[in-house]
Homo-oligomer: A and B are copies of this chain.
């Protein structure tokens, strides 16, 4: 069963997207695996303190993307292969990196300065 213990709501982006990205990042890291079960809508909504409809929307979109399978009466579960995993990883990384580089460059920060800032923000070299 997927754990949402590290989930924390962030900025102003829609909650259902935050849930989707949380799951996708777990898929990329391998902490969420093929055939793994998703918490039920009711359980997850209680866990995250959001509305069941919001969870449902996230699950529905993941299902439309082919990453989740649902069968009435049974738990939903993850379905993913290596090709999809690689595609998602690139998507997520691209979004993260492009945003950061654009932002920092616009702020007049050099590449080396950016690297120092990131190393500092990262903390211990995990």
Contacts and interface: CB of A to CB of B under 8 A. Distances in A.
Given A12-B14, A105-B126, A106-B6, A100 B111 contact: no
Interface string A102-126: 0111111011101101110110011
- Copies of this chain in its oligomeric complex: 4
A97 interface: yes
Contacts of A107: 25, 28-29, 89, 92-93
A93 B105 contact: no
A72 to B, nearest CB: 10
Most buried by B among A96, A97, A103: A96
Interface residues of A, number: 43
Given A97-B117, A103-B96, A106-B26, A122 B126 contact: no
A22 B105 CA distance: 11
The 8 closest A-B pairs by CB, nearest first: A29-B108, A97-B121, A25-B106, A111-B125, A28-B107, A111-B122, A25-B107, A29-B107
